[in-house]
Structure 1
Amino acid sequence: MTRPLAARPAVAAVAATGLLSLLAACGNQTKDEASDGAPSTTSAAPLADKLPQAIRDKGVIKVGSDIAYPPVEFKDSSGKVVGIDPDIADALGKQLGVKFEFENGTFDTLITGLRAKRYDLAMSAMTDTEDRQNGVDPETGKKVGEGVDFVDYFTAGVSIYTRKGDDQGIRTWADLCGKKIVVQRGTVSEDRAKLENAKCVKARKGRIATEAFDNDQQAQTRLRSGGADAGVSDFPVAAYAAKTSGGGNDFRIVGDQVEAAPYGIAVAKGNTQLREAIRAALDAVIKNGEYKKIIAKWRVEAGAVTEAKINGGT
């Protein structure tokens, strides 16, 4: 929005008319800023020329996301999509001169949607792993797709949480042998549960019964109602649930987070121009301090990165 200019006594009406014409001409060269505050597609965006032309023409990047994972991405009381990922996406949009539009989907379908070109990106607290890079099913080891590239933007581990005042002595994964846990389907938490269950069975300590849900909020509801002994989720999500659910009276984190790994923005293999544009934009917002402000806003400073990396997960 342009600030109004104070008139100077010496300026003639014709000059004012000329100024208005000039402003109108400039206005016709760009797209107006959207009412929701999204960045407009303008030459002022320093990295706009790095994007594929088709995306520049549309002025929109479609983002597949499971929008039920606070504080990473979720809907506030007014229905607006908020969280760490949307804030970072807005900052990237300012650099690239486009709007990032989040589209809701279940987590385990996001990469499929990316391959099918329903989305340009997937950004959903998705851990960058070699299996996802290579399109390999972590359970079977078989190739299931082309795989994706990641631009890494955050680091998070996995945490165990229980009902507050009812942790049953659970502190580590070994303590979950013979217990029932809840997880979100298709996540590294579910993968880890399968691996730990195999250890429990081998040690003859009882199975870890795992119930998987489409989203983490469903898993939390199950645990809250007494339908499980513990939940397993990414540390920022578990910490947010412990702080906010029931006014902080429903859950508590037990033990330390494990397997810290990068979150990545997923880009289809072969779409290297878009991948490099996202990497450049992320580096820019890290360097200009906007990234640091976002991370501090959501109180997740421990997961901050200092540079954008491609496929840094292992």
Structure 2
Amino acid sequence: MTASSTRRTSAVRSRLAAAGAIAVAGALLLTGCGDQTKDKDAGSGSASAISAPLADKLPQDIRNKGKIRVGSDIAYAPVEYKDSAGKVVGLDPDLADALGKQLGVTFDFQNGTFDGLLTGLRSDRYDMAMSAMTDNKNRQEGVDPDSGKKVGEGVDFVDYLTAGVSIYTRKGDTKGITTWDDLCGKKLAVQRGTTSEDLAKQQAKKCPSGKKLAIEPFDDNQQAQTRLRSGGADAVSADFPVAAYAVKTSGGGKDFEIVGEQVEAAPYGIAVAKGDTQLRDALQAAMDAIIANGEYQKILEKWGAQDGALKKSVINGGK
């Protein structure tokens, strides 16, 4: 998905030594003037932008609003999901918070179904989409993977992680599944619009006569997990970080197990509308900044995704 909040208020506080009333007054005057100039330049989100090193790279309308609207399928733990208190948490929101410190804006995650995120981006409902979304040529070019036909103008991606696709089954009930070929004659649950669904459709065409692969697409991965848990499906396919998290947490680790190796390793990307190059380049600069300062690595380690770390963010690195 194969893919979801910081407010900045800073004030300059100086302790001035008692070096004379005139010097103190002059220093205070200079400090006040400096703040006012920055406030005027930064618009309504100015106070937070003062200490953000890359704020001037953003489009002015976003700086004025002080936030970026993020389309995300917030049901894809651990990448983005809601905790027991209803707060949006996960790998992507943590990375967005770190990016916000660099850019001086808040990232406002707005929930939507995964297969509708790019449509929402094209219609200006969102400024960007961040939802464990695999960067690939079809999405870059706006091509439907099934028909090969053009369905939109496509998007640009700012890549930030590499992840493959995995299969998992009920624990102790693998149905002999270790590879994608073993899915022939089985029932597979996937999330609609994901790379897992694309791979399943490709595999279904390879299955021999009499061993059809039945594919059940769902709006989110949690629904697919429920289907597997109840015995309605033989397996689920999802991005490796999501599969690993489901195996670790569902039923205290007693519900599922990963079978076989992950395949189709590819970058996750933040999707931005074609032509919105200033926002795209600002996001890339901010991503490179948090990679360089070490915050990126800490976030990936927190969510067990460090194996997919990038040394540098690239634009449209997917194939």
Q: Normalising to structure 1: TM-score of the pair?
A: 0.90
| Counterpart check, 1:98 vs 2:109 | no
**Counterpart position of 1:140:** 147
Shift in Å, 1:260: 0.2
| Deviation string, structure 1 residues 193-233 (Cα, Å, up to 9, x no partner) | 00000000xx3351110110000001101110111000000
| Deviation string, structure 1 residues 225-250 (Cα, Å, up to 9, x no partner) | 11100000000000000000011111
Q: Report the Cα distance in structure 1 between the residues aligned to 2:269 and 2:111, rounded to whole angstroms.
A: 18
**Counterpart position of 1:247:** 252
**Counterpart position of 1:287:** 292
Distance verdict in 2 for CA 1:45–1:184, change over 3 Å: same
Residue type matched to 2:79 in 1? V
Residue type matched to 1:171 in 2? T
Q: Report the Cα distance in structure 2 between the residues aligned to 1:83 and 1:42, rounded to whole angstroms.
A: 25
Identical residues among aligned pairs (%): 66
**Counterpart position of 2:137:** 130
**Counterpart position of 1:263:** 268
| Counterpart check, 1:175 vs 2:182 | yes
User: In 2, are the aligned partners of 1:286 and 1:307 still within 8 Å (CA)?
Assistant: yes
User: In 1, are the aligned partners of 2:39 and 2:46 still within 8 Å (CA)?
Assistant: no
Of 115, 119, 125, which aligns to 2:126? 119
Distance verdict in 2 for CA 1:149–1:6, change over 3 Å: closer
Match of 1:253, SS state, is strand
Shift in Å, 1:300: 1.2
| Deviation string, structure 1 residues 23-57 (Cα, Å, up to 9, x no partner) | 888777659xxxxxx99632221111111111111
Shift in Å, 1:4: 8.6
Root-mean-square deviation (Å): 2.4
Q: Normalising to structure 2: TM-score of the pair?
A: 0.88
Q: Report the Cα distance in structure 2 between the residues aligned to 1:24 and 1:110, rounded to whole angstroms.
A: 44
Distance verdict in 2 for CA 1:273–1:7, change over 3 Å: closer
Structure 1 gaps, min length 5: 32-37
Residue type matched to 1:261 in 2? A
User: In 2, are the aligned partners of 1:177 and 1:205 still within 8 Å (CA)?
Assistant: no
Of 294, 297, 304, which aligns to 1:299? 304
Structure 2 gaps, min length 5: 1-9
The number of equivalent residue pairs is 305
Distance verdict in 2 for CA 1:100–1:40, change over 3 Å: farther
User: In 2, are the aligned partners of 1:164 and 1:252 still within 8 Å (CA)?
Assistant: yes
| Counterpart check, 1:88 vs 2:133 | no
1:5-154 alignment, distance < 5 Å: 41-154=48-161
User: In 2, are the aligned partners of 1:121 and 1:267 still within 8 Å (CA)?
Assistant: yes
**Counterpart position of 2:5:** none
**Counterpart position of 1:184:** 191
**Counterpart position of 1:223:** 228
Q: Report the Cα distance in structure 1 between the residues aligned to 2:46 and 2:189, rounded to whole angstroms.
A: 39
**Counterpart position of 2:314:** 309
Q: Which of structure 1's runs of 4+ aligned residues deviate more than 3 A?
A: 1-8, 10-31
| Deviation string, structure 1 residues 56-76 (Cα, Å, up to 9, x no partner) | 111110000000000000011
